[in-house]
Amino acid sequence: MNDGADVSADAPGRRRAWQHPWVALAVAAVGALLAAAMILWLPSMRTAIAGWPLVLVALVDLVLLSAPLLGAVIVAVRVTQERFTVATGLRGFSWIDVVAGLGVGLIARALVELVAPSAGGLGGGFAADDSGVMAATFLALAGAVLVTPLVEELFFRGLLQRALGDALAGAGRWVAGAVAVLFSTALFAGLHALAAGPFVPVGLLLGTVAVGLGCGVLTLLTGRLAGALTAHVVFNAVGAALLIW
């Protein structure tokens, strides 16, 4: 946990998270395009490896969908010569991040369940005699709860939102912050909608918008990524639990 001086140093409007924000944004744009291309190519890839063990298919899915976004964050840090934890907001932690993140994650999940309740039964994968089905189910859930939130928050809030806010700093702290939150949320929801195909479920659209806005506001207000990470993990974890039960 950092002391008050460290926290205030990372607060929005006090200093730039990305010293070369437009360069970081250019890298983010490439990462988003690669992620979109990967999403569109994924059905063909799944057909090509249909005969593989299910756990390997699940692992390939997780790696291919995460690689463009995580790669963009790493490349942006290297190109701009930033410190990874400072630029992305991973530096610094306060218990208020956990409390606020827990609240945002639960509220976002509650909104989704009110509109489109999750259908349980996925737990059958753990009860199946086929160990491959059980392993693939476990890997998919673990990836959704632990890996995906980290990768997506690093990219959408740590890189895209923080860099865009810095790039537009001349417009004023709150204007730049609002634009950055809305843009990162729109792209976040857009890529998830692209992955859903031509018919986007209402629950998915509502969930991605709620998580995007909630995590974006937490990042904007605290200057840290911990709250957004907590909210995203809680949202996905509760959703996974409801699917299992």
- pLDDT, one tens digit per residue, over 72-131 is 999 999 999 999 999 999 998 899 999 999 999 999 999 999 999 987 666 555 555 566
Q: Is the pLDDT of residue 166 over 50?
A: yes
% of the chain surpassing 90 pLDDT: 80
Q: Is the pLDDT of residue 139 over 50?
A: yes
Could you tell me the pTM of the whole model? 0.90
Q: Give the helix ranges, DSSP H, for 52-201.
A: 54-80, 84-88, 95-115, 124-127, 131-142, 148-152, 162-167, 173-196
- For the stretch 15-31, pLDDT in tens is 789 999 999 999 999 99
| pLDDT score, position 5 | 37
Q: Using pLDDT thresholds of 50, 70 and 90, give the confidence band for residue 9.
A: very low
Which region among 39-53, 112-126, 139-153, 184-198 has the lowest average model confidence (pLDDT)? Answer: 112-126
| pLDDT score, position 127 | 56
Q: Is the pLDDT of residue 1 over 90?
A: no
Taking alpha carbons only, the member of 180, 166, 11, 174 closest to residue 82 is: 166
Q: Where exactly are the structural domains of the chain?
A: 4-244
| pLDDT score, position 123 | 58
Neighbours of 106 (CB within 10 A): 14
Taking alpha carbons only, the member of 104, 92, 93 closest to residue 217 is: 104
- CB-CB contact of 177 with 165 (8 Å): yes
